[in-house]
Amino acid sequence: MAHTFEELVTMQCTADEAHAQVQRLQDQYGRPTVNDWTDEQCTTCRTAWQTWLDAARDIQAAVTDHAKEQGTARHQVEADVKKAARHPDLVAGG
């Protein structure tokens, strides 16, 4: 079953937040080739990375399903979802 547009927006926000967490960890820990990461840092980063990959995979599949169900171009659904997730003020305003 395809997701609603609102569910897609929520899924995109989840993927965006997971990506932001990976970036925060990379900023905090530095590059693993330059700084020696502890085992805990490696595990934390690997877990965050996998969370991001899973969320990104899920939103991509859901966008594809939604586009097929609605008979809409996939790239347009993806663009609309990202706009609503990342710039809700622009979507709500018009």
Task: Give residue limits of the domains in the chain.
Answer: 5-93
The tokens describing 34, both together, are 């330059």
CA distance 67 to 77: 6
Q: What is the pLDDT of residues 32-73, one digit of tens each?
A: 878 889 999 999 999 999 999 999 999 999 999 999 999 999
Q: What is the pTM of this model?
A: 0.89
3-state secondary structure of 74: helix
Length of the chain: 94
CA distance 6 to 11: 9
* DSSP structural state of residue 71: T
